[in-house]
Structure 1
Amino acid sequence: MNLKQEMSHSPQTVILHQHPLTVHTCHTVVVGSGAASLNAADTLHRMGQTDIALVTDGMNRGTSRNTGSDKQTYYKQSTSFTDADSPLKMARTLFNGGAMHGDIALVEAALSLKSFYNLVGIGVPFPHDTYGQYVGYQTDHDENSRASSVGPLTSRYMTEKLEAQVRRNGTSLFDRHLVIGIITTPGENGDPAATGLLTINMEAIDDTGYGLTLFNCRNIIYGTGGPASIYHRSVFPKSQAGATGIALEAGAKAHNLTEWQYGIASTKFRWNLSGTYQQVIPRYVSTNANGGDETEFLEDFFQEPTPLLDAIFLKGYQWPFDSRKLLENGSSLVDLLIYIETQVKGRRVFMDFRRNPRCADEQGTLNFDLLGETARQYLTNSQALLPTPIERLKKMNPLAIDLYRTHGIDLEQEYLEIDVCAQHQNGGLAGNHWWESNVKHFFPVGEASGTLGIYRPGGSALNATQVGSYRAAEYICHRYTQPPTTTDTFLAQAEHLVQHRLKLLKNLVVNPEQPSNVLAFQQELQRLMSRSGAFIRSRPALAETLHRFQDELARFPNQIHICHLKELPAVFRVYDMLIAQIACLSAMVAYDERQGDSRGSYLIDHEEGTHRISHQGMHFAFSLDRDFRDQVCETFVKLDPPADSPDTKQTTDAAVAAAKVTHQWVKVRPIPEYTTWFENVWADFRDQKIFDEKRG
């Protein structure tokens, strides 16, 4: 199998600022190795654009390949005869989550079945019944049974099958290439246009060219995932970092950076603990740092067994923290109580699948009469009225046990350490209904795109990866078919960015005699972000942490020393992370300045709150009224060069930039509702008028 076909131009070696760089030229570069990027590369090829390159810092490092849950969901329009559904009905579900543009919602609904059946066609084994119906189940924030699944590893199956397609196509693959810059030039109407990438070839780092590699191209499809590294308490795989900051630096607009999902996850092996992990009603315990002083801490808050048991059970359906579900003994109280144990008291929290919660255990068997009607009926229908949580889990989802066993954790023999972690960014880089950014020829897709709003149905993110990447490829193949610019012109466009990166590299302290501090520096920033900018947010802490991060960026890279040039990728990942942290925190502060209340997957704690929760001397006050769900916060980042400084020239040169972040609040675009006439649509399709920007 040919895995590395020649592109339209052979690689060239050029000298810029006395350093050798490799230049590759192709029509379109796809960045990333997840479900979105691989689908984009495959779609381009199927539509006839074969002069493409797939660039990734690691084929097996991405979120799609390394994350999941008990039954990872793919969300699509319903195909079961029992569910009356349509693209418009599904679009309304997506749109009603708040802060989501209606045209994007309609596209994601309209193409959900096309994308789903493409995955079925390439071998992803979504289940169907004897009549060929791909029946589904109901997920959170959904009124139909639109969800389907292949089990815990749905996105991995998708990625593996899509990768097989890309390799079969012979697409040029550039593995171990980390994107450290996007080259832009002024385009039509003054909008910037992307013309290429700057990467580090991690297999060719030395002290002459640092492995710097340029890609000259007409288009970039950017599927780098969300800003996965910005939090310490995180479900994102440790191998996943994202590259949102690099795109923001290049002028790409973002939206809804305030909106994330946070939920209960295991920490030794990072995995969501939703669905049956909760529905079997395990025991929750906390201990001191050494594993002693064990207590079933949920009982300290819930006064009666039934609300406690129901709250645990409902975390299966209602896995993400939801500020609305703190009221009336709601399921999100479990997240809040875990937060108090781990982040306030400094204790450790575990789930125990071997024993029932003490308040409902009778000689090793759960007293099912203490369950609410929903939980009891679910376990009855599942034929899972069995004595212990592990027996119930074996009955309902044995793959959930096997998954942990393959990662060295035996749920039949040991506790599972957990915390409330960041899992997915609903916001991200902005795009139109063809997924093109305000930076022309630049298409963020997948989680990097972040088309989703405040609330979203479970599994809609996987649908978005496929729909968005398809749309980007379709637009490129019909509208952006021109060849790349000449090498000389491209090098003139790239010169400033290359000079900036070389300046940063030359100011790095490389000393093999001293231990590197890159990891420690990164972890300190991640802990600060988790403390102030995660699912419990306070107004003073947001502003204080943002100021700290701005200061750290202004002194970057003076803060860092490394032992060897092989650590350069880690340095640039921290640089990207810091820009993304600043942008996200700034958006959170902007929302606070509008006096926005708790919404989605976070609580804003402030004294004027109309709802109050008190526990063991701790008090949380929050409101739910002002959520601005009819608006989107657009964010722009501009990195201004450092001003003249009275300090030494070396210090001034080492300062990277001051990040100026601005925000604009815009009304959500409504769902396009109009009367169609087949002959007119057919004519517009034949004449390619469907791609006209005025129709977006």
Structure 2
Amino acid sequence: MMTDGIDIDAVRGIPVKRYHTIIVGTGAAGYAATDCLYRYGVTDIAIVTEGRTMGTSRNTGSDKQTYYKLTLCGEQQDSVRDMAKTLFSGQCMDGEHALAESALSVKRFLKLADLGVPFPTNRYGEYVGYKTDHDPKQRAASIGPYTSRAMTQALEKAVLAESIPIYDQMQVVQILTDCGVCHGVVCLSLNELEKTQYPFQIFLSEFVIYATGGPAGIYRDSVYPESQHGASGVAFIAGAAGKNLTEWQYGIASVKPRWNVSGSYMQALPRFISVDQDGRDEREFLQDYLKEEDSILEKIFLKGYEWPFDVKKLENGSSLVDMAVYLEIVKNKRRVFLDYTRNPLKEKLDYQRLPKTVFDYLRRVDALYDLPFERLLAMNEPAVQFYRDYGIDLKKDRLEIAVCAQHNNGGLSVDLWWQTNIQGLFAIGEAAGTHGVYRPGGSALNAGQVGAERAALFILRHPDKKNKMSGKILEKQVNVLCEFTDKVMGKQSTVTQIQNSISSNMSEVAAILRKPDDIRRNLERVEWLLKYWKKNIKITSAKELREAFLVRDMLISQRLYLFAMKDYIEQGGKSRGSAVYCQATKDVDSQKNIFNTVYYEADTGEKGNIIQEVYLKNGIPYSRYRLVNPIPEDEEAFEKVWKKYRENGNVY
């Protein structure tokens, strides 16, 4: 086949494959989209993935990982609109996403149950629920620490049974576009790095569903699995806009292995200690920040329920524990550990002096034991076994922790059908920015499943795009990758050093504590590294091409995320969600003070109806602001909806 005189079966010797739709990623969202497309009859599809067993949904979890959906048990009243209002109330969330995620939550949940995910039911068949964070009902469901892993495995089994091609060891490095329309992707073929000069594979397609997860690699202190990097930078280069990039979720997690220490890990009341970089000078440090002993114990306990760091819980709440841990690591340059072998503050707990909330809970779960380890074992033996599987015995070993990035509530901006501003490019899962400042725990797992179905349904009803890609444009975009491959080769490798440096900087200046000058300086440094990439990014072997492209993606992602934070500050943005924006001076009456160190002004929700979007234009970052879209009103009669559904499946 010829296009503008260029044989597109190969470009510069790089092979070309064609499919109707390409799905990028093999997590729960990517597999869900693949399964939906196939069952809808769109079968000319293929998956490309950097590593089939990599990714967040397969390799992460928590004390009790949650799936958030409409209530399916008991007599508590609930409705699609009620759940949509809960999601929408998290601020900066568009109403169409809130409504779709609510309306399809039961369908997607029951699909997973039918595929074998063992969500618990009572003896009558009701799917029992519990209350999670930011949840006024009892909509949460769980199968334990590995809920998302079981989802991924069940969906994978369904996809494998359909014999859909999966191209493994394919790292997406380019989204092919022409005049604002997506025409496929180019991948770095990781199995071909030393076999050919340009080890790429071109996939041409009508549609691309981007399920690459969040930009996990941009932070050093991260609870994302080390195999998860994200590929948001590739989308930004292609022209995709970012939405709510300032809004993240952070919390206390173990460093090795990367795992949330929420729930019973905190309710067992472990001791918080710090040591110097050489492991000496051990001391408990929470009392340096929090003076009241009883208050310290209550705040440790509440971290189990209130795991995400939250500005609203800073003044006298459990998030003071996160801030103390963060300052001890970043400001005092010490390492922090949880110790389950001894009680905090004293050798023996005085249960009669414990806050009533703490005492009543420990008594109710039969955990009134002498030591934190004994309490944890009584409450949640699998939580103890999890670390044993990694060679850590909490009965005798300390657990190193940090305040870690856990989830990006923002991401690529998408419409009602999870399509980005690039026609034909859809973003689902954590790659999509459908959440706001706050979100109920477990809503991310549901959003990934709902986005998968929405994208698949749109593609079913709009199977073809009218315009085709110019062969000259295709060759031009491929040439950019070839030039990068040629120019990064050097005498000394810098990629690991850059990776460590820029991820450390992000964790220290752009996580829960954000100072305007630090944000600006780091943005300037990232821009310098990108501007002079031919000098800065170097490898000595083709084996390192993967890392070179990862560093490129990290730098582009960091540029947009830091720019979003800088712009938010310049527009008068204040501390909210999981981020404290420090004030330059303490001489303001309205500012709140943490530990005589951090001064900030809390957002009161006045900007909760405004969404920030950022994008690259001619290589320069820009921002735009708009009002959130309200929850759509349901005004159409059944007959009108039925007619539209018969004609086109209600897809406009």
Q: Same fold (TM over 0.5)?
A: yes
CA distance in 2, matches of 1:637, 1:369: 59
**Structure 1 position 40 matched with structure 2 position 20:** no
Structure 1 residue 368: Cα displacement: 2.2
Corresponding residue of 1:246? 234
Corresponding residue of 1:674? 634
CA distance in 1, matches of 2:32, 2:111: 10
**Structure 1 position 135 matched with structure 2 position 128:** yes
> Is this contact kept in 2: 1:128–1:135, CA < 8 A?
yes
Where does structure 1 lack aligned partners over 5 or more consecutive residues? 1-11, 187-191, 641-658
Residue 100 of structure 1 aligns to a residue whose secondary structure is coil
Where does structure 2 lack aligned partners over 5 or more consecutive residues? 1-6
TM normalised by structure 2 equals 0.96
> Is this contact kept in 2: 1:194–1:442, CA < 8 A?
yes
Residue 333 of structure 1 aligns to a residue whose secondary structure is helix
CA distance in 1, matches of 2:236, 2:516: 24
> Is this contact kept in 2: 1:77–1:87, CA < 8 A?
yes
Corresponding residue of 1:22? 15
Structure 1 residue 521: Cα displacement: 1.1
Corresponding residue of 1:504? 484
Is the alpha carbon distance of 1:257 and 1:674 closer, same or farther for their aligned partners in structure 2, counting shifts above 3 Å?
same
**Structure 1 position 494 matched with structure 2 position 474:** yes
TM normalised by structure 1 equals 0.90
Corresponding residue of 2:344? 357
Structure 1 residue 507: Cα displacement: 1.2
Corresponding residue of 1:610? 590
Equivalent residue for 1:326, pick from 314, 336, 340: 314
Corresponding residue of 1:174? 167
CA distance in 2, matches of 1:195, 1:609: 55
CA distance in 2, matches of 1:391, 1:689: 56
Equivalent residue for 2:57, pick from 39, 64, 75: 64
Corresponding residue of 2:564? 587
Matched letter for residue 390 of structure 1 = F
Structure 1 residue 476: Cα displacement: 0.6
Which one is further off, 90-99 or 626-635?
A: 626-635
CA distance in 2, matches of 1:403, 1:79: 30
Corresponding residue of 2:3? none
Corresponding residue of 2:118? 125
Structure 1 residue 594: Cα displacement: 1.1
Matched letter for residue 613 of structure 1 = N
Structure 1 residue 493: Cα displacement: 3.6
Corresponding residue of 1:7? none
Alpha-carbon RMSD: 1.7
Corresponding residue of 2:4? none
Structure 1 residue 385: Cα displacement: 1.9
Residue 27 of structure 1 aligns to a residue whose secondary structure is strand
CA distance in 1, matches of 2:366, 2:643: 56
Equivalent residue for 1:621, pick from 587, 597, 600: 600
Residue 321 of structure 1 aligns to a residue whose secondary structure is coil
Deviation track 1:264-312 (CA, whole Å, cap 9, x = no partner) reads 0001210111111111111111111222221111122322222111111
> Is this contact kept in 2: 1:30–1:41, CA < 8 A?
yes
Corresponding residue of 1:232? 220
> Is this contact kept in 1: 2:210–2:428, CA < 8 A?
yes
Corresponding residue of 1:518? 495
Report matched runs for 1:247-646 at 5 Å.
247-328=235-316, 330-359=317-346, 361-362=347-348, 366-481=349-464, 491-511=471-491, 514=492, 516-606=493-583, 607=585, 608=588, 610-615=590-595, 618-625=597-604, 628-638=607-617, 640=618
Deviation track 1:139-172 (CA, whole Å, cap 9, x = no partner) reads 1111011111111111111111111111111000
Deviation track 1:328-365 (CA, whole Å, cap 9, x = no partner) reads 2x000001111111000011111111222124x42xxx
> Is this contact kept in 2: 1:198–1:213, CA < 8 A?
yes
Deviation track 1:599-637 (CA, whole Å, cap 9, x = no partner) reads 00010110247243353x634333333651111101111
> Is this contact kept in 1: 2:63–2:260, CA < 8 A?
yes
Corresponding residue of 1:9? none
Of all paired residues, the percent bearing the same amino acid is 43
Residue 67 of structure 2 aligns to a residue whose secondary structure is strand
Matched letter for residue 261 of structure 1 = Q
Residue 443 of structure 1 aligns to a residue whose secondary structure is strand
CA distance in 2, matches of 1:661, 1:219: 26
> Is this contact kept in 1: 2:10–2:16, CA < 8 A?
no
Structure 1 residue 376: Cα displacement: 2.2
Residue 312 of structure 1 aligns to a residue whose secondary structure is helix
Corresponding residue of 1:686? 646
CA distance in 2, matches of 1:272, 1:304: 26
Which one is further off, 444-453 or 407-416?
A: 407-416
> Is this contact kept in 2: 1:542–1:588, CA < 8 A?
yes
> Is this contact kept in 1: 2:538–2:548, CA < 8 A?
no
Is the alpha carbon distance of 1:144 and 1:427 closer, same or farther for their aligned partners in structure 2, counting shifts above 3 Å?
same
